[in-house]
Structure 1
Amino acid sequence: MKSLALVVLLLVTMTPVARAAPDVVPLPADKQAFGTARSTASPVWFTLGHQGLSEIFHPDLSTPATRETRLLVDGKPGQAYTEPADDRSLTFRQRLRGDGWRAEITYVTDPRRAAVLADVSVRAERPVRLSIDHVRIKGSSDVAGSLPTNPVRRAKGTFAVGFGDGVAQAALNRGFASAAREYARGWHTYLDGLKRPKSADRRLYDQSVMVLAATEDKANPGASIASPSFPWAFGFDRELAPELGPYALVWPRDLYHVSTAMIAAGDRGFAGRALDFMLRKQQRPDGHLPQNTRVDGTPVWTKVQLDQTAAPLLLAHQLGRHDKSTVDSLRRSADYLLAYPNSPFSEQERWENQDGYSPATIASVVAGLVCFADLLQRNGENADRYLTAADEWQRKVESWTATKTGPYSPKPYYLRLTKDGNPDAPTKYNLGDNNPTDIDQRAVVDPSFLELVRLGVKRADDPVIRNTVAVVDQQLKEQGYWHRFTQDGYGETADGRPWGINWPTPTRTYGRLWPLLSGERGEYELLLNDKASAAKRLSQIAATANSGLMLPEQVWDGRGTTSATPLAWTHAQYVRLAWSLDRGTPVERPSVVVRRYLS
């Protein structure tokens, strides 16, 4: 038997195959695994695809540095099945199969340096040649490994991908076993300091919490990206995404949902760092939060979304943060909400591509202002101007966004949004995302109106809320899950080709089903004292996990599509609903808002 580890005289540092990113067909965004060490000394994150290592991020989570690194047998990759190698750390194993051969590779990062380590074993029915195919996107990276130059039937050894002079070789010299033990110990210690709810699947819950923790950048505390993936055109369309796809950016909305999940899990430090990041990256002097930023805080997309500006107000209240520095920063955000033209009209609502009056946005803004007012009052300050605006908008949300003349019910129901604050008007707009024609605003519904209930702005048994639930189920529920909104076009074409917006000819695309919406429905059902249905929603989210226990953005026929996977928001919703089930009520529902409007 020939052993990779024994062929030390033939140790080579691989020369990466470098290709310009625009010329490279993008890798699928449905990552099978995502991992990094807990230590800040290892600023490197790996993802696994269907054939081996997918993008590796370095030196931060907004920078994919490599495209893929694959074991080749006789010049060809195998097809991989991915699974956790340790349920309590982000250590993953891939079992690969090819023509007459099998391989098993386990992946970790070296906690002491910027290197990914892969432990390899190969068995073949005939002598085969082994090599490593490594493609970088930007910067420099080296691959080191002990590889036999002659054909072998069996082999065992390690290869490393490192960033910096000699880093790969140093990781290889240390050895996989030593690095893997330290890597696992870091995650075990982290989980030992947290709680676990009774309602959740143990393996998926632990995996979800670790994934959320791993999305935080190491050089920029509190900066947590939406997903380490680049779905569809965001991976190849340089006009749409000149540098990289937006999922590897920080979105205040996603960061809020992740932070509230981490508070429930017992990691308040994560949420505190997230709040500090939000407030450091406010757009001065006006105080609004940018649509998204790189992990260093540099704005990328710059549209105004009022719910994102309200996010730090809500998060600060959950954390009980009312020190002068925090309150002064929050005041800028609250004042911006009051001063924004025609507020609570927003340039964009939470699905990014429409302006108007959105019930979900209005819920966030109202709740955020009431929470901020409470922090002010704890400091002995007058908060009347914020409460006056919140009360007015709470009273008007129905008249702005619930139609009495829509096509789905003779009773009022909430719309996704209205363009003009008149929900009974036949105002038309184009939904975007390759929708060919304009649509009457009264015909577009969205499950996001449930933010009104979750945040304490409206009662769960309010007649308009109940009627909208029925309408949304009729229009958007399919296969046990929900679409984002009527005629959502953010997804693949009918024949499975990737979503894009710069097609040479009009091409219809179709948004699929979002598991995180099952979590939001579960929180609503808890407020109706329907714990059995809420528990079913938790199971529905869990059923969408892939073999590496990564939860997707979208599913079809019960399986994740090639949408962003893992999506931090989906993992956060799983964690938060699990704790809500244990406690019998949504864990981050602000009681101060409930007392003001529902008591």
Structure 2
Amino acid sequence: MKPLALVVLLLVMSAPIARAATEVVPLPADKQGFGTARSAASPVWFTLGHQGLSEIFHPDLSTPATRETRLLVNGKPGRAHTEPADDRSLTFRQHVRGDGWQAEITYVTDPQRAAVLADVDFKAQRPVRLSVDHVRMKGSSEVRSTLPTEPVRRARGTFAVGFGEGVAQAALDRGFRATAREYVQGWHTYLDGLRRPKSADRRLYDMSVMVLAATEDKANPGASIASPSFPWAFGFDRELAPELGPYALVWPRDLYHVSTAMIAAGDVGFAQRSLDFMLSKQQQPDGHLPQNTRVDGTPVWLKVQLDQVAAPLLLAWHLGRQNQSTVDSLRRSADYLLSYPNAPFSEQERWENQDGYSPATIASVIAGLVCFADLLQRNGENADKYLQAADEWQRKVEGWTATTTGPYEPKPYYLRLTKDGQPDAATKYNLGDNNPDDIDQRAVVDPSFLELVRLGVKRADDPVIRNTVQVVDQQLKEQGYWHRFTQDGFGETADGRPWGINWPTPTRTYGRLWPLLSGERGEYELLAGDKASAAKRLKEIAAAANSGRMLPEQVWNGRGTGSATPLAWTHAQYVRLAWSLDAGRPVERPDVVTNRYGS
């Protein structure tokens, strides 16, 4: 066997790459693997695509530093099939095949330094030449490769991508076996400290928890990004996304869902750090949290979403955080909710492209205020103004958002939102995302209304809730999953081309099916007394996983699309529903809310 010594040295200055000047388009967003060491001494994360390493992040999770690193045979790449190399660590192996050759490549990061290592076992039917293709996210590649100059049929060795002078060589000098052992042990130790539910697939559950843990930035504790990927036009349209966003950013809503899943899994420290990040880095002086931020807390998109303002109120209650400094910060968010113009009207609801009165947003705000009021009362403080607002909005939510004159049966049913708080009015609006025509608000429904039940604002057997379940299933259920809302356009074209909004000519796009909505339906079904259906939802989420056990944002025809993969929210929903099945109820439903409203 011919020894193979491949060294890729990437020298990076201490300052982050200026992403606004990025010249290279990221690879497709359906990542097949995602990994990093548990150690904070290794601020580097890798993703795997269909031909090898795709984006590597360094020095933080909001900064993709490289686009691609792949093995070439006679100048051509192969096609890779990805699988976990170890069920209890983020170690991945790719089986790469080309014309008359095959290779097994195993990937880890060095827990002691910022380097990604790839161990290669190569075989060919005839002598071939090997090389490594490496592309940075900005400018030209700085690559040094030490390769066999003569053709080979068998080769075994390691290549490394390192950040900083001598880092790659130091990782190679240590050796792949020793590095991989330490990498694996870090993840095994982490999982050994957690619990595992009876209801979940063991391998997918462990992968989901590890993916969630890996989305936390190492330099900024508590900052967990939505996904290490750049789907569709977010990867190539610099007018739309000048900084390769927005999934490699921190969204308070996603952070809440991930944190409640981690509480259920036993990693309460993750949730504590998340709340600290929300309140110390994301919260603005007036109390609101921006739409999203970089991992250092710098706001990027600035729209106000009231459910995200309520997120720290809910999370603090789950953590029992009633110390004075936390309560003072939460008070700013609660007061912001009360003072927001026409509250609980929101500039954006949770799907982020419409303003109005949304049942899902209103549910979050009501629950957040009740939870905050409980923390105040535990401290002996008066909470009347927060409870009065919550009670008023709980009484009015149906009148603001449930129609008796809409086109579907049975009535009344909840709408996605109303623009004017008048659900029986034929008010029209444009759905955006390449929808050509305006639509009557009474014709647009959304499974998100179930937040009213999940958060304890309404009973599962409430007649309007049950009516809306029927309407949503008639209008949005397909292939065993649900669309986000009527005529959702956030997805690919009919022939699979990527979503975008700056088309030279109008181009219709179609939002596909969201596995995380199956998890929300399962939480509702538990409350409705249908555990068998809830268990089915867990399997539906699991069926969306790719060969690397990454769960996607959207699926179509049983497979993940080019949407963000892995999506932390989907993995969190899998973890949370698994624990909810074990408990027989949604584990993050706030008892203080359910007790107040008899739900």
Q: Compute the TM-score of the two structures, normalised by the length of structure 1.
A: 0.97
Structure 1 residues 109-124: aligned runs within 5 Å: 109-124=109-124
Letter in 2 for 1:431: L
Task: State whether structure 2 residue 569 is matched by structure 1 residue 560.
Answer: no
* C-alpha contact 1:142 1:162 (8 A) present in aligned 2: no
1:153-173 residue CA offsets vs partner (Å, 9 max, x unmatched): 000000000001111111111
Give the distance between the partners of 2:448 and 2:106, measured in 1 at CA.
40
Structure 1 residues 330-479: aligned runs within 5 Å: 330-409=330-409, 411-479=411-479
- Percent identity among equivalent residues? 87
1:418-472 residue CA offsets vs partner (Å, 9 max, x unmatched): 0000000000000000000000000000000000000000000000000000000
Query: Paired residue for 1:31?
Result: 31
1:536-578 residue CA offsets vs partner (Å, 9 max, x unmatched): 0000000000000000000001100010000000000000000
How far has the Cα of 1:533 moved from its partner? 0.2
Query: Paired residue for 1:582?
Result: 582
Structure 1 residues 60-75: aligned runs within 5 Å: 60-75=60-75
Give the distance between the partners of 1:557 and 1:319, measured in 2 at CA.
39
Query: Paired residue for 1:230?
Result: 230
How far has the Cα of 1:27 moved from its partner? 1.1
How far has the Cα of 1:144 moved from its partner? 6.1
1:53-84 residue CA offsets vs partner (Å, 9 max, x unmatched): 00000000000000000000000000000000
Change (3 A) 1:388 1:274: same
Query: Paired residue for 1:209?
Result: 209
How far has the Cα of 1:598 moved from its partner? 1.1
Q: Match of 1:102, SS? A: strand
Letter in 2 for 1:56: I
- Aligned alpha-carbon RMSD (Å): 1.7
Give the distance between the partners of 2:145 and 2:176, measured in 1 at CA.
11
Query: Paired residue for 1:243?
Result: 243
How far has the Cα of 1:143 moved from its partner? 5.5
1:357-396 residue CA offsets vs partner (Å, 9 max, x unmatched): 0000000000000000000000000000000000000000
1:231-264 residue CA offsets vs partner (Å, 9 max, x unmatched): 0000000000101120000000000000000000
* C-alpha contact 2:24 2:138 (8 A) present in aligned 1: no
Task: State whether structure 2 residue 503 is matched by structure 1 residue 503.
Answer: yes
How far has the Cα of 1:24 moved from its partner? 3.6
Letter in 2 for 1:275: L
Letter in 1 for 2:516: L
Letter in 2 for 1:576: R
Give the distance between the partners of 1:174 and 1:310, measured in 2 at CA.
48
How far has the Cα of 1:179 moved from its partner? 0.5
Give the distance between the partners of 2:124 and 2:76, measured in 1 at CA.
14
Give the distance between the partners of 1:409 and 1:466, measured in 2 at CA.
11
1:108-151 residue CA offsets vs partner (Å, 9 max, x unmatched): 00000000000001100111000000000149986566521111
Give the distance between the partners of 2:524 and 2:80, measured in 1 at CA.
39
Give the distance between the partners of 1:452 and 1:20, measured in 2 at CA.
40
* C-alpha contact 1:65 1:139 (8 A) present in aligned 2: no
Query: Paired residue for 2:200?
Result: 200
Q: Match of 1:199, SS? A: coil
Give the distance between the partners of 2:64 and 2:566, measured in 1 at CA.
16
Q: Match of 1:86, SS? A: coil
Q: Match of 1:54, SS? A: strand
Change (3 A) 1:23 1:277: closer
Change (3 A) 1:144 1:110: farther
How far has the Cα of 1:281 moved from its partner? 2.5
How far has the Cα of 1:22 moved from its partner? 5.5
Give the distance between the partners of 2:241 and 2:178, measured in 1 at CA.
40
Change (3 A) 1:171 1:431: same
Query: Paired residue for 2:14?
Result: none
Give the distance between the partners of 1:47 and 1:15, measured in 2 at CA.
17
Give the distance between the partners of 1:466 and 1:223, measured in 2 at CA.
37
Query: Paired residue for 1:168?
Result: 168
Runs of 4+ in 1 over 3 A off after TM superposition: 11-16, 18-26, 138-146
Change (3 A) 1:582 1:142: farther
Structure 2's unaligned 5+ residue stretches are 12-16
Give the distance between the partners of 1:62 and 1:410, measured in 2 at CA.
46
Give the distance between the partners of 1:545 and 1:42, measured in 2 at CA.
27
Q: Is the deviation greater in 506-515 or in 143-152?
A: 143-152
Q: Is the deviation greater in 52-61 or in 279-288?
A: 279-288
Q: Match of 2:96, SS? A: strand
* C-alpha contact 1:143 1:159 (8 A) present in aligned 2: no
Query: Paired residue for 1:8?
Result: none
Structure 1 residues 308-347: aligned runs within 5 Å: 308-347=308-347
How far has the Cα of 1:410 moved from its partner? 5.1
Change (3 A) 1:43 1:231: same
How far has the Cα of 1:495 moved from its partner? 1.1
Structure 1 residues 540-555: aligned runs within 5 Å: 540-555=540-555
Letter in 2 for 1:457: V
Give the distance between the partners of 1:224 and 1:459, measured in 2 at CA.
32
Give the distance between the partners of 1:14 and 1:267, measured in 2 at CA.
36
Q: Match of 2:211, SS? A: helix
Letter in 2 for 1:185: Q
Give the distance between the partners of 2:400 and 2:7, measured in 1 at CA.
67
Structure 1's unaligned 5+ residue stretches are 6-10
Structure 1 residues 294-309: aligned runs within 5 Å: 294-309=294-309
Give the distance between the partners of 2:183 and 2:139, measured in 1 at CA.
25
Task: State whether structure 2 residue 221 is matched by structure 1 residue 221.
Answer: yes
Q: Match of 1:540, SS? A: helix
Give the distance between the partners of 1:60 and 1:404, measured in 2 at CA.
50
Letter in 1 for 2:125: E
Q: Is the deviation greater in 402-411 or in 557-566?
A: 402-411
1:40-64 residue CA offsets vs partner (Å, 9 max, x unmatched): 0000000000000000000000000
Structure 1 residues 220-299: aligned runs within 5 Å: 220-299=220-299
* C-alpha contact 1:128 1:153 (8 A) present in aligned 2: yes
Query: Paired residue for 1:489?
Result: 489
How far has the Cα of 1:586 moved from its partner? 0.1
Letter in 2 for 1:152: V
Q: Compute the TM-score of the two structures, normalised by the length of structure 2.
A: 0.97
Query: Paired residue for 1:533?
Result: 533
* C-alpha contact 1:42 1:113 (8 A) present in aligned 2: yes
Give the distance between the partners of 2:303 and 2:141, measured in 1 at CA.
35
